[in-house]
Amino acid sequence: MAEETFEKMALTPMDEYPFHATPYPMSYVPNSDPAWDDGYYFLAYDVESGVSVWTGMRVAPNSNIIGGYVNSNIRGVQRALRLSRIWRDDFAVAIGPLRYEFVEPLKAIRLVCEANESGLAFDILWQGIAPCHLAMHHRAVRAGRFTTDQSRYHQTGRCTGWLEIAGQRFELPEESPWGGSRDRSWGIYESRPPLGVAPGWLPPAEAAEIARALRFSCFVEAEELSAYFHFHEGPDGQRMVLNDAFGVPFEGSIHHGWDERLELKSYDHRLNWRPGTRSVTDGVVTLRDADGGTWTLALDCPHPPHVLGQIGYHVGAWHDGGTIHTWHGRSPAMEWDEYDFSSQPCEHRFPGNGETKTVFGVEHFANVTLTAPDGRVRSGRSQFEVFLNGRYAPYGFGAQDSHGGLTGRGIA
């Protein structure tokens, strides 16, 4: 009998620990879909100055790539550094000058970007102020295949350290730390063009009976309280489980430190919109807790919201036409650019495909007041995300042309 030959799976540092979910090294994932990925984003922001920095990494094991980004924002002027390398050569959570160090898992992470040609650099300690919120498992099915099968958690935090953007230094002091949010997810999220099967070679996909129109995802810090919640609705405001990458109608909680948690059960919203966009200027979200109490969250956004599309998830951001999941001809690969989104909506040319689109921000920074059921009013800050896909009748938004993965993520 001929000897069986196969590519040997590599050991990773995590293989030292007794946490395996399959009988294989952790360099293997039990799914060959190129949409399977694993990673994070972290955000540090200061509402008063209008300065923020996002950073993230994702491992795409089925294309053998780890990709990442740093994206700064000074009141609408955004500078983006995109990075990529082969993953199985080195299992460190690092790409070129960017690395993450897990000081205390689920609580404290050090984010470091060494000086580099982009002019972006930082050394930030991101610290949670409440436990991570593990969301309901995300699953969606199309034509008998899981197009989403993913776990995700969220956490509100505070950030200290320093940040440099093009020679300008910003301190994140211990006595007045910046706000922080983060998101961690793994599994199959949704299609990852240009990887995957071209839709034209598949039978026509049946449209979802009720498609998701609205996603609202919100992190709040208000004095000694913090909160995370998200909700999703159909085109007519339907609140039900959707066959979608997010799916859950509503979930969330309010925390007093690490030990006291109050579950949220329902919500309402009254939002105001920036003309010519689907981004928010201000509004009120009403939350009802498990004890029957009503919380009122008033949001006010003093700066232009953060525009997506530059960090590399979508076709057009990387200059070669690829994405955070694809090979860019060298390892590591790095490129950067800067755009002025201080006046929105605005025209933006995506360098990777030459397309010019009218864009606006979907990631918002807000001052907040949180009124508790007992009438006490707390002041604070929030970062929240709004995706509006196509028609959404409650606020009078009509249908949209398709913009691929960016539909609903800031394309007019």
Q: Confidence band (pLDDT; 50, 70, 90) for 297?
A: very high
DSSP class of residue 322 equals -
Q: Express each pLDDT in 305-319 by its tens digit.
A: 999 999 999 999 999
Q: What digits encode the pLDDT tens for the residues 28-54?
A: 998 999 999 999 999 999 999 999 999
Residues 242, 210: Cα–Cα separation, whole Å: 7
In this prediction, residue 9 has a pLDDT band, given cuts at 50, 70 and 90, of confident
Residues 106-128 have pLDDT tens digits of 999 999 999 999 999 999 999 99
- Compute the C-alpha angle 224/228/229, nearest 5°: 140
Task: Set out the domains of the chain in order of their start, with CATH numbers.
Answer: 36-201+211-395 (2.40.370.10)
pLDDT value at residue 275: 95
What is the chain's length? Answer: 412
- 331 class by beta-carbon count within 10 Å (0-12 exposed, 13-18 middle, 19+ buried): middle
Pairing of strands 94-95, 98-104: antiparallel
Distance CA 65, CA 258 (A): 36
* Structure confidence by residue, pLDDT tens digits, 268-296: 999 999 999 999 999 999 999 999 999 99
For residues 361-381, average pLDDT:
98
Say how far residue 172 (Cα) sits from the centre of its chain. 22
Q: Given this model, what pLDDT does residue 3 score?
A: 53
Q: CA quadruple 51, 57, 58, 63: dihedral positive or negative?
A: positive
Long-range residue pairs from 183-186, CB within 8 A, at least 24 positions apart, any chain: 183/40, 183/41, 183/152, 183/153, 183/154, 184/39, 184/40, 184/132, 184/152, 184/153, 184/154, 184/155, 185/38, 185/39, 185/150, 185/151, 185/152, 185/153, 186/37, 186/38, 186/39, 186/150, 186/151
Residue 224 has what pLDDT? 97
